A and B are shown apart, each in its own frame.
Chain A
């Protein structure tokens, strides 16, 4: 009861409201797609500009993109291993860039100024659909990586080092996407809520440190998501002896 009455006071926050798009009989969260298209468009423009004139002697944007590429390669290589990291680097890099751009875009751009008929624009990763989609893609990826690299021997992983591990390993296949999606979702949503509540209560100065903390959390979450995805794939392709 207290919670509900508190929430009516915070009506400006609009938690759990969505801008519904109806296509046939499927319903979509429009605000998620709107922000993700804007942010991914910006990302693609940024990358196209940086890779337009590639030189052996990198300058400006190309330098930044090469640094990013190197960073992602190191991440993929340390987690997945020298042998197959090359195949999975684009996926890991895309996860990292998507989550990073979504988190930072959600935190940095004052979406609240754009009024929607229902719901409000924000980080696409603050929607459970997005994070579950990413987590399920990671699950599919590590199954595919394991099966394509080791064939049926992939399932040796479930009884490694002893068959006692079998139930735990099976359980892990469910907890991995669950923890991946809820960690990201929870962190980004909580950050948005904290900033929202603080801005609502004290609109001046006080939210700024929390906003910086939010930027930090956003970056860390992107790194954690990409690293864990790479780790799961690495675990699936690892050879046991």
Chain B
């Protein structure tokens, strides 16, 4: 054994190495096993379970967030297309109504023109008939006058 007197101690000394050494080593090894089953394993299980739980939740939240972003973008494009579609429908309807209005206007105009023309022709024919009658009556009258004048004489 490595043992020498230190500080004048008669027995032992600071560097007195004996069976304390192996027994202490066995004690520390036993302590390692005890602490492993009493401390390191149970606490490790709890901590790692929690770490897993937290990281899983973070991953899940990230997935959900990206899904939400995708849906948002989807909705935005849908909204955009719906808006352009609505605009197209509105302008189409406007065009249609414009066309219908124009057609109706034209139709009405034509009808009015036609009836105006008809009325004019009628007026004209009646005017000429009246004029013919009038000139015939004038002729008759003038002949009557002439005959009477000749007979008087």
Interface residues of A (CB under 8 A from B): 3-4, 7, 15-18, 20, 26-29, 32-33, 36, 40, 44, 47-48, 51, 54-56, 58, 62, 65-66, 69-70, 72-73, 89-91, 93-95, 97-98, 124, 127-130, 132-134, 136-137, 189
Contact = CB atoms under 8 A, between A and B. Distances in A.
Contact of B43 (A69, A129, A136, A189): A69
Contact of A15 (B9, B43, B49, B50): B9
B96 interface: no
Contacts of B49: 56
B25 A28 contact: no
Contacts of A7: 7-8
Interface stretch (B31-39, B80-88, B117-125): B31-39
B147 interface: no
A93 B32 CA distance: 8
B82 to A, nearest CB: 47
Interface size class of B (residues with CB under 8 A): 35 or more
B75 interface: no
B26 to A, nearest CB: 9
Contact of B15 (A56, A65, A93, A128): A128
A72 B43 CA distance: 12
A37 B75 CA distance: 70
Q: Does more than half of chain B's interface fall in helix, strand or loop, or is it mixed?
A: helix
B149 interface: no
B47 A129 contact: no
B6 A16 contact: yes
A26 B18 contact: yes
The secondary-structure label for the interface of chain A is: helix
A62 to B, nearest CB: 8
B70 to A, nearest CB: 33
Contacts, number: 130
Interface in B1-47: 6-9, 11-25, 27-29, 31-32, 34-36, 38-40, 42-44, 46-47
Contacts of A17: 9, 11-12
B147 to A, nearest CB: 142
A36 B21 CA distance: 13
A47 B42 CA distance: 11
A132 B17 contact: yes
Given A17-B12, A32-B20, A40 B6 contact: no
B20 A91 contact: no
A4 B39 contact: no
B20 A29 contact: yes
Contact of A94 (B6, B24, B35): B35
Complex A-B, nearest 3 residue pairs according to Cβ-Cβ distance, in ascending order? A129-B20, A133-B25, A90-B36
B46 A137 contact: no
A195 to B, nearest CB: 17
13 contacts: A28-B20, A40-B27, A54-B43, A56-B46, A62-B43, A66-B43, A89-B40, A93-B35, A94-B31, A97-B35, A127-B20, A129-B24, A133-B25
Contacts of B19: 26-28
B11 to A, nearest CB: 8
A97 B43 CA distance: 15
A91 B13 contact: no
A185 to B, nearest CB: 9
B35 A90 contact: yes
A51 B43 contact: yes
